[in-house]
Structure 1
């Protein structure tokens, strides 16, 4: 009753992703190919492993038991095969990263081109999203997160700027029309462009100065989904719709060009930069080890 390793891997990918399409995205194998592999495995074992509906796929009791045992076993197989990478002149393989959209825009551009030039046999697969996911269950090797969202059983190393700020800005036309806020509470009388996370929670507007912290909940004519629609918020601010609060580095080109003007700058809050995080395995896949080492060698100096 020996099962094909590829069929077992296909089952794990589909079960972890919760569907054939998402499993296909995680593995690079077509959804039809995964479906056929799972059917072969079920026929060989003589038991149904997945409940299939038009909307979702979930393991049966037998499938859940198999998944529980297979996941670490396949991880060991992958680690064993990756040992061969140590005998190559250059590490090879695919490195999958799960990162917030802000990191894809503000952190990775300063790292990825040089990394890929240094390791031409590594393929980097980046998933950018702002919903909190288990990177391993999502089929990724590592992720980028900020300190408040790090999982405790993961190793975290600094990546990107070690300190960042949230900036508030508006167009010159808006400020000429509505006036310039002098205190964060003045924002309650202004049009503010808000962001909403996938969870439905609104982004916080927080400020601090000389030990005083102020949190306000302003309103405005536009709410955008954090991540995918953030550029719309910036474009709307440039067009004079209202004030926007965002990573300073995201707004910096518009601040430098004069399309936006800083507002309440003495109140802009600072926060620690992001971390690359990954499971604390004794043996890391060669592409991930290369990336961790590269990030360590090219870590930016802390600002004084």
Structure 2
């Protein structure tokens, strides 16, 4: 059975985008053209690949199976063709990164403008997502995560600060009313603003001092989805609603302006910084290779 590669690419684009219009926008094609390609592929295979409604497009069980097998294969094919790109004076093409919101906010602003200025023929697309994903299945070239969430078969390259800290903070008015905690367990008597991952997990707050590690699971009036809603917790803390726990670098501007006050600073836990990671079993596309070389060079600068 000879299947048109363009039809396969159309199916993958629609399945990933979960819609014909979004897939057309991302791929530069037309929704009607993609629809016809998917319909042609379904007719040839004799099985429905996508369930279509007026609001969404979702792969069927057969579609999910095909997508899982096609994504790595198409990525390898694109990478193989991209070898030619390495012979250009200036690498060109697209680079898709899957990163948590914290990296988009705290790491990439120091990297992206200079990188794009150095490589004007590269188009960078950044997808923010808090959960760990298979970057190839998600249609991305690489991701940024912390070392405890990296898979063994990934190549990891340090990016951004090599050490960070989690900080706790509240408004001076809140602390004047409710008192200033002296030990992490004191937080159990305070209103704390919590965060929950998309998986449903709500991580405890962890502190460390002189080798002693303390984990607490405080309660409070607000729970936000980690990532996109994190700033709401910060705004609530500034308004005096309670105590927030977040990256120190995220909260630093609010400390500097005085609208938030550090809480339990001697207990703030230090942890290693993020990594750019990508699969080690495939050819590295030229745009990704350029990005890797760029961040390595930046790390070696004083």
TM-score (norm 2): 0.90
Query: What SS does structure 1 have at the residue aligned with 2:256?
Result: helix
Contact 1:208 1:268 in 2 (8 A): yes
Alignment of 1:127-138 (within 5 A): 127-138=127-138
Shift of 1:200: 1.4
Query: What SS does structure 2 have at the residue aligned with 1:292?
Result: helix
Contact 1:195 1:203 in 2 (8 A): yes
219-228 or 73-82: which moved more? Answer: 73-82
Can you give the 5+ residue segments of structure 2 that lack an aligned partner in the other structure?
none
Superposed CA offset, 1:163-204 (max 9, x none): 000001111111111110111111111111111111111132
Asked if 1:175 is matched to 2:196, the reply is: no
Superposed CA offset, 1:75-116 (max 9, x none): 343123212212221000000000000000000000000000
Alignment of 1:9-158 (within 5 A): 9-15=9-15, 20=20, 27=27, 29=29, 31-43=31-43, 45=44, 47-54=46-53, 56-60=58-62, 64=65, 68=69, 70-158=70-158
Shift of 1:219: 1.0
Contact 2:80 2:283 in 1 (8 A): no
Q: Distance in 2 between matches of 1:228 and 1:65?
A: 31
Q: Distance in 2 between matches of 1:287 and 1:258?
A: 42
Query: What SS does structure 2 have at the residue aligned with 1:276?
Result: strand
TM-score (norm 1): 0.90
Q: Distance in 2 between matches of 1:50 and 1:87?
A: 38
> 1:27/1:279 Cα in 2 relative to 1: closer, same or farther (>3 Å)?
farther
Superposed CA offset, 1:34-80 (max 9, x none): 3221112234x25225152536222528x846963x44543343123
Q: Distance in 1 between matches of 2:227 and 2:3?
A: 42
Q: Distance in 2 between matches of 1:202 and 1:72?
A: 32
Asked if 1:4 is matched to 2:4, the reply is: yes
Alignment-derived partner of residue 231 in structure 2: 231
Alignment-derived partner of residue 254 in structure 2: 254
Contact 2:76 2:282 in 1 (8 A): no
118-127 or 193-202: which moved more? Answer: 193-202
Contact 1:193 1:233 in 2 (8 A): yes
Shift of 1:281: 3.6
